[in-house]
Every structure is written in C-alpha cells, then in structure tokens.
C-alpha cells in the first residue's frame, strides 16, 4: 500500500480508501460482513474509511461505527452530508441549520465524538459559501470535525469557495471528492488542475466506473454487477454512450491482458497515477470484491500503458457525459439562459 499526504493537512492516508456506499440495504450487507470487510481493509493497509449520511438512510454509518469500534484511532474517518435525508424540505443542503443538526446525527450513528473529514456531498446553489463555511468552521472549532471538504464540485465552485474562505476569514475546504475513471476523464480538464493549484487532497469515487472496469462487463456477457439492478439504463448497450464505453472496455481488456494486469489493477492504477489524486475510493460489496481490489494497492502503470490508455480514451473526455453530477444549474435550467419575454 502506498501512503500520501492528504492535501496540506499533514495526515497520511492510503492510496486506496474504503468507500461504504454498499454497506447496508443498498448492497445487502450485514453487520458481520461489514465488520469482516473493514477488518480486512485495515489489515491490508487501508486507513481511510468514507461513508455518508444518505447511504442506506444512515445504516452505512451505523455499520461502519460498529465495525471500527476498538480501532477508531487506526482510522481516518470521513462522512458526508447535504443530500436529502427524507422528505422534509430543510433536511438537506449546506445551511448552518442542517449541517449542525446532521453532524450530530452522524456522530450518534457512528458512535464517535468526532469525524476526521466532514464533506459537503454536493454544492448547494441555494446556500451562500459564507453560510456553509462559517458553520463548518465552527464545527471544527468545537472539535466535532478535524477538517472539511467538498464533493463533486465544479471547478469554478471550488475556486469560489476558496476565495470566500479567504474573504471572510473562515476555514477552507481541504479536500475534493470527484468522480474519476478511465471512462470519465472530464475532471482532468479543470477540476484536477484547480485542486492542484489550491493544494487540495483528492479522493476519487467510482474509479471502476460503476462496474464497467471491474471485468464483469464484457461483450456478449450478461451484466451481473449489482449497480445494473438499480440503474439498468447505464448498462443498456443500445444507448450510444454505453456502446462507446463497451468498445473502450474491450480495448482496455486487451491492454490489461498484454500487460499482465487485471482490469481492476489497470483501472485503479490509472487514477492513482494522476499527480493530483490522493486516494481512490473502492466500494466493495463482498469480501471477494475487496480482495481483488486490494490486489491493486501497489500497481504502478508504466508509461507505455498509460499512453495506450490515452489513445483508447483521450485525456479530458467523458464517455458518458450525461451521467455527470457536477453540471452547473446554468446548463440544466433553460430559464437561466433566456431573457424573460
């Protein structure tokens, strides 16, 4: 396992981190299974565990909290807030009212008195940066969080938040958590250069592209990934973007085989090779998933393999741009692009 400094924090974290989205109802995992996976991950050198309040409506946090009991000091513990938690209109977003309340809920579910990294799950366009950063700064001063970060922010919002922190003399985001894989390289254009400019740690999610790069999705095979049960449209190869992904996967499989690598080693070795990336979040659902992903911990791709990946999927290109979750509201809402009559 490789270890890297998380931004400018001085905290050393593993180059693979354990993501807990599949823990609980979403992945159908029990406490016994989660505890076994967490123990195996920590024994394998992983020291960063990342969850969120919304994962299985808080169940993931509860399972993680019980799994790390007795090993809390071995874990850099991260969670997130901001996505809707139920139907109540104020149980979401980046307001002080919600973040203060929901952090207490997360601490209760996790069974801890603080988290090491508290992340805003998505940028909240209805809440000003000063409001959110002020609340997070106060929570840090209260000792309930050690650091705070952002997740899936567009590059311009990362810059704006850094400016707001300086302008209002507040704490700043020290990490960003974007989606990044061989098949989704758009963040290379603006997001990753911006995180490097500001010295942010980067924890990338979905490095296996929702299972496309796990080796389970191949031409002529039935798709068996758990994600396909919930989002079948993402694996429907009659859709042009998915056809392009499958074509790329077939070429990548040949490349991996020629280099003596598994698809998982190729995929994780690719994202951790980027100088802006601190850790890649793996999200195993089973012990076997974890075993095959831990096998990529020390993978270092040679330059010729990285060059061939660039020929298969060009730098900065998203093969499924419609799935991106950081599209600005100005592109999603037509009224923002048209003058009133």
Active-site amino acid positions: 55
Distance CA 90, CA 75 (A): 31
95-125 b/e (C-beta count within 10 Å ≥ 16 → b) = beebbeebbeebbebbebebbbbbbbbbbbe
CA-based nearest residue to 76, from 146, 141, 138? 146
- In angstroms, the first-to-last Cα distance of the chain is 60
User: Measured on CA atoms in the order 288, 292, 65, 78, is the torsion positive or negative?
Assistant: negative
Strand partners, 111: none
199: three-class secondary structure by DSSP: coil
Residues 6+ apart with CB under 8 A from 12: 3, 4, 5, 6, 47
Distance CA 257, CA 148 (A): 40
Distance CA 16, CA 202 (A): 12
């Amino acid at each position: 396992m490789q270890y890297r400094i998380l931004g400018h924090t001085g905290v050393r974290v593993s180059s693979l981190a354990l993501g807990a989205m599949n823990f609980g109802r979403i992945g159908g995992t029990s406490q016994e299974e989660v505890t076994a996976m967490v123990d195996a991950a920590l024994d394998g050198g992983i020291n960063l565990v990342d969850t969120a309040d919304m994962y299985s409506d808080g169940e993931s946090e509860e399972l993680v909290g019980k799994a790390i009991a007795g090993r809390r000091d071995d874990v850099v513990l991260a969670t997130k807030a901001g996505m809707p938690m139920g139907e109540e209109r104020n149980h979401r977003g980046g307001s002080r009212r919600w973040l203060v309340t929901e952090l207490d809920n997360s601490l209760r579910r996790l069974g801890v008195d603080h988290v090491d990294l508290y992340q805003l799950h998505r940028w909240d366009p209805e809440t000003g940066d000063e409001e959110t950063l002020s609340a997070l700064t106060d929570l840090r001063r209260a000792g309930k969080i050690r650091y705070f970060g952002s997740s899936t922010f567009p590059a311009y919002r990362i810059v704006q938040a850094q400016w707001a922190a300086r302008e209002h003399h507040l704490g700043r985001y020290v990490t960003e958590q974007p989606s990044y894989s061989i098949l989704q390289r758009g963040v290379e254009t603006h997001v990753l250069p911006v995180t490097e400019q500001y010295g942010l740690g980067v924890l990338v999610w979905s490095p296996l592209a929702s299972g496309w790069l796990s080796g389970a999705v191949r031409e002529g095979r039935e798709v068996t990934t758990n994600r396909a049960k919930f989002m079948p449209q993402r694996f429907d190869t009659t859709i042009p973007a998915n056809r392009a992904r499958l074509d790329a996967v077939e070429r990548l499989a040949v490349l991996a085989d020629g280099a003596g690598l598994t698809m998982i080693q190729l995929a994780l070795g690719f994202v951790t090779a980027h100088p802006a990336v601190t850790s890649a979040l793996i999200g195993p659902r089973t012990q076997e998933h974890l075993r095959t992903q831990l096998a990529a911990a020390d993978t270092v791709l040679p330059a010729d393999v990285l060059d061939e990946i660039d020929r298969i999927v060009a730098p900065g290109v998203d093969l499924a741009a419609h799935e991106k979750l950081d599209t600005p509201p100005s592109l999603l809402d037509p009224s923002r692009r048209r003058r009133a009559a």
